[in-house]
Each structure stands twice: as structure tokens, then as C-alpha cells.
Structure 1
């Protein structure tokens, strides 16, 4: 009888049993030579200026287990690091939970949830998620600060109500017809999310919907003067916690035994917005994520990474890479101030260091 119970238990054990950070990340004890990766990511820092590659954190996870982890002081495993525009993709993930709850559809006009967009009544939530609102916008930071829409939104006349500041811009293109990277579009999405919820619920919603189910406890999300999350830019999170979002996306929105994100939402995030203009070496836009997908007959943006690679990317070198073909999640935090860092160069070295699974 005891043998029968054991056999039944074995038969009921799923062949695809997976590792999860529940609550801590398990560690993979595979022997891997990371010398080439670390030499690229962590060169000796220039102490006279802020030039060169300046990695603060590098975390590499394969199939739910930590393979490699390194930090540069003062950043540690517990540091809630500023993610900059990685915040946009995390906002899209929070919205994916809301969409799965039936709170909106992609074709809904933004004005349904954020009335100041009535002047742009044809702008859909899908358009905002593609950075294709059609609103006139200037995203330059250091290079043209006096003409920059994003600098004004974050730091001067728009900071008290960033969504209202964005909505007041004129239309430059028909919605959905032209890609123009805009932190304003992202903050309109943050305001639309607020309109989907009652006020008290909004305050805790990113935690209730996403962070707490994933076991994320380091997240800090700043708000503008009107109390709306700065969805474009100001989420702080430890590398290990950001990797939880990467694992969720790598596993098609599934967390443990729960489908936290609709698989259709993850598919939307990973579908190229074909009306964007391909730029050599630059990842192409999906649904508020960045894709290693070619557009208009161009080669892969990151030729040494699989075509299915996608990422959340932020100012000064922040990155969350997902490589589904190799079951990889990679977090990089940084303080880069020039153009010397290459996404492809890091991915190439990581992939070269790793044997194929099972070898």
C-alpha cells in the first residue's frame, strides 16, 4: 500500500516543476566563467569624470535560479535603485493585471478614464502603450533642456500634474499612426489607471495587483503633485525584485499556480508596433516594452541575441532583459553618462558564457 501511494505521488508530480523565488531566489550552482561578462560590465571606474561603462548591479537568472550576481558600491542587493524608464514597462505590467480584471480594453479611448484627454478623443489606450498618441512632444534631456517637454514635465511647470501637462499639448499626428517616444504618454496611462479605480484603491493598486503577489517588498513609486504615480520614470526597486517581474514575463504572465497576467497581454507587449521607424542598433517598440524584432527589412537590433529577446530599458543604462529562448532574466542597473555601453555587447557575452541547458 505504501509503494502504491509513492507511485501515485510520483505520477501526480508535474514533469515541468519549476523554481520560483518563494520567498528567496534559489541559487544555481553551475560552474560558469563570468570573466568576460564582468570585464565588460565592471571596468575600473574613471574617478575624474563619469565617462565609460558604470554598472551598479548585474543579476543573471536562468530558469528561476540565480546564476550570477555582482554589485558596485554603494549599490547592494537590498538597494532600491532608480529604474528610470524601466518604470514604463512595469506600469504596463500593472495595467495588464487591470486589463485581466476587465477594467479596460485596448481600444478604449483614454478620455473615458482621464477626461482632460477629451480634446484628443481619438487617442486610445493602445496608442499610448505604443507611444503613438500623436501629441507633439520633445523627449530630449541633457541635449536640449530648454526645449524639452520631458524636463518641463518632470521638473518645472508640469510637475504638479504631469498628465494634465501632457494632455494640453497639441496634436502633431493622427493617433496610432506615428511612433514618438514620450514619457508624457506613459504618465497619461498612469492617470488613466487612476480613473479606472476609486481614489483609495489607486494608492495601493500596484502593490495589490503586482508587487505583493510577486513578493516584491522594495518598491517605492514617486507621485506628482496631483498624487498620480510618475509611471514614466520614478519607480525604485532592488535588482532581485525587478527580476521577479522579468520571470513573470518570461513565463508568459504565470506566477506559481496563478495566471497573474493574461497571456494575451504578454503577447501584446511583445508584438512589434510596425508603424515605428527602425533605427540601427536600437530595440523596436512593442506594447510599452522593447523588442529585438526587425522592422522594415532591417536586421535584428541586437544581432547576437535571439529574436525573441525583449526588454524594459531606462535612462543611464537601466535594463531588464528577458531571453525566453534561453530562460534568462538579466537585470542591469547603472550610472552610464555616455554612449559607450552596448546592450548587444553584454547579451553576447552572457550568452557565450552559458552552455545550452542540459549540457
Structure 2
């Protein structure tokens, strides 16, 4: 075989197998219409009842395969340029920012929280990894608008805790020893945001998520609200476009690497994706990892999302926000919504996405 032909063949092979990364815009290779794609759209974008707010109400759905947009649709007034409320996806964003601080040698997972946040001295045996597992042991009630009277999170965000959210969480009592029992807590996440302030210093803190994460990924329009003390509301108040949130998903899909830069240490991503050792199976609930959610079975219980592969993991938020990563399929899915009645199903969405975008030959 002639040498020139071999060189051309090798060059073509490298081009075909080259990784796709977004520049200012994402590369696109939109999937053709199919019955399975029609079914995905019927499920995700049914006629909207704006008066009752019942049913599945998707504001935006974006599907990335191997670094390229293959599907994108929005419901007005949301568009591709809308920085949408992510709600508790903010927690996983904070974990990603902390991963950069971890790579800079600023802390260890076994460090005591009080070493970096003095108002937590009431709980000297709680470690940073306990907060990241939502296993601080604090007596926290994560009830929302349907049960507000005894809700710790409603009090923290909207009433007596709103001016200093981390301090409000720190004053809570204890229901278990730290690191022994999962109890989902927006308070744990906001304490981590206060820890980050002391890790990087008050001067650098306001810009740190941008310097550490958003700017390297090419995210230029993120908004992250703070409380009155200037601490990021890591539990709830980050806003990103779907395309920008997908950049975080692609970073996690590729094990913390962005182009030639290892932005997050592989061991940090492995921690995010490792089930909390003392998690218990709750019907319909995903398995907690390191401030991310996993499709991992616990004991004899089925996987939380049985239609999706076991290695699927996600960042999830109130009213149907989701960032899903499916490593084997090289898929990143962003779903923004306004679901108020509990009819939306993560598994139903993932089942339809996998049917609409089957694995390509050679993967």
C-alpha cells in the first residue's frame, strides 16, 4: 500500500476519532426525526396548561453526544440564551468548584469542617466528606412549599436564616453521628459554600467559581446569588443556560478533563461517583454520591432509574431540573422544567432519550 495513502488514511482516522469540544458555540449534528424522537417530544413537550401548572412542563431539553449537540428544544419564554434557575443542581456545581480547590491542595476530605468555618464549632467531629455526602448528622428537615411550618430549608432561604444561611445551618442540633446516616440537607451545601470562602480567602472568593470553573469551560453568563454575608447560596441559586450547564456535564463525562487540562483530579470525580457507604434505598430516589446522584442499586432494591445504565449519574434540582451524564453512551442531557405535581419521571425521560438516540456503530 503506498505511503501517501497510509498517511491520508491515518489522518482521516484521527479526524474522525478526534474529540469534539465546544468553542464559543457547540458543534452540532442534529439527529433526524424518527418515531422514537417524536415520542420523546410528546413526553417532554405536551400541551401546556399554564393555569393549573399540572403535568410535565419542560422549559428546555438539550442532548449532547460526544461533544456535539444532537437535539435541542425550548418552550417560551425559555430560550437557548436563558440563564435558567437550576435549584439544587447548584449543589453539584459547588462540588465541582470544590474539586478545583481540592486539586490546588487547599483541603482534604477528612478535614474537620470547623477547621475552615468557626461557626461550626458546635459540631467538631463533622468532616468535609460528611457534608459532601449529606451526612453531617444535623437535625435538618428538607421540606418544601407543601410543608413549610417545620421546614429547615424554607426558614434558611426565606425567613430567619436568610441573611446568613451557613450560620443558620451550623446552629442546628444533631440527629445522628456524622458520616453514619444520609439526610438530604441544603444546609450542608451552604456550610460548604462558607468553607470555600475560608479556603480561598475573602478577597478571591467572589470570583473564584468563575476563575476556577466557569471561565476555563467557556461559561460567561452564569449568575450565582449570595446571601447577605456574600456567601454563595450553594443549595439553590445558580443560574445557567442549558448549553453552559452542558459544559459542566461534558467535563464530568470526560473525568474532569477539559481539552488538554485536567481541571478536576480523577480521584475527585471518582469520589463524586462513589455511593455513600451508609446510604439506604428510598423508593424512587437516586443514590447519593459526593454531592452528585447515582443510578446505583442499594442491596436488593432496583436501580433508581432502571431504564438507564448503572453508571448514569446526575445533578438534580427542584421542579424537574436535571443534568444527566451517561458515560458509555457519551451522552450529556440537560433538562429544565417547571413540574409542580410530581408527574415528571427521570426514568421515563432517560428511557425515551436512549430510544431516540441509540448508540452509534463503533461506540
Q: Which residue of 2 aligns with 1:335?
A: 338
SS in 2 for 1:321: strand
The unaligned stretches of length 5 or more in structure 1 are: none
TM-score by length of 1: 0.96
- The Cα shift of 1:74 comes to 0.2
Q: Which residue of 1 aligns with 2:195?
A: 192
SS in 1 for 2:39: helix
Aligned mates of 1:244, 1:288 — CA distance in 2: 18
SS in 1 for 2:24: coil
Contact 2:31 2:71 (8 Å CA) reproduced: no
Q: Which residue of 1 aligns with 2:20?
A: 19
Q: Which residue of 2 aligns with 1:177?
A: 180
**Residue 312, structure 1, aligned to residue 315, structure 2:** yes
Q: Which residue of 1 aligns with 2:56?
A: 53
SS in 1 for 2:316: strand
TM-score by length of 2: 0.95
- The Cα shift of 1:355 comes to 2.6
CA shift digits 1:91-112 (9 cap, x unpaired): 0000001001101010000111
The unaligned stretches of length 5 or more in structure 2 are: none
Aligned mates of 2:59, 2:187 — CA distance in 1: 27
- The Cα shift of 1:3 comes to 6.0
Identify if the C-alpha distance between structure 1 residues 345 and 133 changes in structure 2 by more than 3 Å, giving closer, same or farther: same
The correspondence for 2:276, drawn from 264, 273, 294, is 273
SS in 1 for 2:243: helix
**Residue 247, structure 1, aligned to residue 244, structure 2:** no
Aligned mates of 1:334, 1:105 — CA distance in 2: 36
Aligned mates of 2:69, 2:227 — CA distance in 1: 35
The correspondence for 2:103, drawn from 100, 103, 123, is 100
Q: Which of structure 1's runs of 4+ aligned residues deviate more than 3 A?
A: 6-16
SS in 1 for 2:244: helix
**Paired residues for 1:115-264 under 5 Å:** 115-264=118-267
Contact 1:32 1:354 (8 Å CA) reproduced: no
Q: Which residue of 2 aligns with 1:42?
A: 45
Aligned mates of 2:50, 2:239 — CA distance in 1: 26
CA shift digits 1:228-265 (9 cap, x unpaired): 00000000000000000000000000101110000111
Q: Which residue of 2 aligns with 1:345?
A: 348
Contact 1:274 1:295 (8 Å CA) reproduced: no
SS in 1 for 2:311: coil
Aligned mates of 2:77, 2:9 — CA distance in 1: 51
Q: Which residue of 2 aligns with 1:31?
A: 32
Aligned mates of 1:356, 1:194 — CA distance in 2: 43
Aligned mates of 1:288, 1:136 — CA distance in 2: 19
- The Cα shift of 1:43 comes to 0.4
Aligned mates of 2:17, 2:311 — CA distance in 1: 21
Identify if the C-alpha distance between structure 1 residues 15 and 31 changes in structure 2 by more than 3 Å, giving closer, same or farther: closer
Aligned mates of 2:19, 2:79 — CA distance in 1: 27
SS in 2 for 1:312: strand
